[in-house]
């Protein structure tokens, strides 16, 4: 069964080998929406599109963006929090460790968490924001499939070919969608 935001039988956009002609969206959205969707960039063998007005971004994609912005606010994601809590719980329930040793290790864990929070930008979180705005023809532009978008991040990372697109965005767009730090470090970013 296909993922919610993914349909494997969608047509492929027009040939983008001609630099003067931008690929046209021929994807999953109803045809009445196609004129509102524009080509954004190509990564690997896939074309990525976005709405020609950000106001068109769907409620489901905006909810995904809100979750990602929460990660930005706290400079950590749910996985980091879960690992932190599990480590503390493991320490507290270890009958072999003395209280002083437990306290010391909890202090180290908390200091590590503080340092992670003080990082100016978490690259993995910033790139997730781009998955909200940019979609391929196989995605539902009105929905947001978390699993599919994790694969999209891995795909972008493996191709190392989108930095030019993001660097050429006007400052007000690139700062909202993806950090300049991500662009500088795109070749070293590894999807987890």
**In whole angstroms, what is the distance from residue 25 CA to residue 36 CA?**
9
CB contact at 8 A, 84 and 78? no
Domain ranges in the chain are 1-75+119-192, 76-118
Give the pLDDT confidence score for residue 46 in this predicted structure.
93
Give the pLDDT confidence score for residue 17 in this predicted structure.
43
Give the pLDDT confidence score for residue 109 in this predicted structure.
86
Going 166 to 170 to 174 to 180, the CA torsion angle's sign is positive
CB contact at 8 A, 179 and 127? no
Give the pLDDT confidence score for residue 162 in this predicted structure.
74
Low-confidence ranges of the chain (pLDDT < 70): 1-20, 73-77, 117-124, 164, 166-192
Give the pLDDT confidence score for residue 67 in this predicted structure.
85
- Across 158-171, b (16+ Cβ under 10 Å) vs e yields eeeebbebbeebee
How far from each other are the two terminal CA atoms of the chain, in whole angstroms? Answer: 25
CB contact at 8 A, 77 and 119? no
Give the pLDDT confidence score for residue 134 in this predicted structure.
93
Give the pLDDT confidence score for residue 144 in this predicted structure.
94
């Amino acid at each position: 069964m296909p993922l919610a935001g993914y349909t494997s039988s969608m047509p492929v956009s027009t040939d983008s080998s001609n630099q003067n002609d931008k690929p046209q969206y021929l994807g999953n959205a109803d045809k009445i929406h196609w004129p509102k969707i524009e080509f954004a960039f190509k990564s690997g063998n896939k074309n990525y599109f976005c709405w020609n007005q950000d106001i068109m971004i769907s409620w489901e994609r905006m909810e995904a963006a809100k979750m990602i912005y929460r990660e930005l606010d706290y400079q950590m994601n749910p996985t980091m929090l879960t690992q932190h809590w599990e480590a503390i719980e493991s320490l507290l329930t270890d009958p072999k460790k003395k209280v002083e040793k437990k306290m010391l290790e909890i202090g180290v864990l908390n200091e590590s968490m503080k340092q992670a929070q003080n990082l100016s930008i978490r690259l993995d979180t910033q790139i997730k924001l781009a998955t909200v705005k940019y979609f391929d023809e196989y995605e539902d532009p009105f929905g947001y499939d978390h699993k599919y978008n994790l694969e999209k991040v891995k795909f972008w990372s493996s191709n190392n070919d989108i930095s030019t697109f993001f660097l050429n965005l006007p400052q007000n767009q690139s700062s909202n969608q993806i950090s300049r730090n991500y662009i500088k470090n795109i070749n070293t970013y590894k999807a987890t």
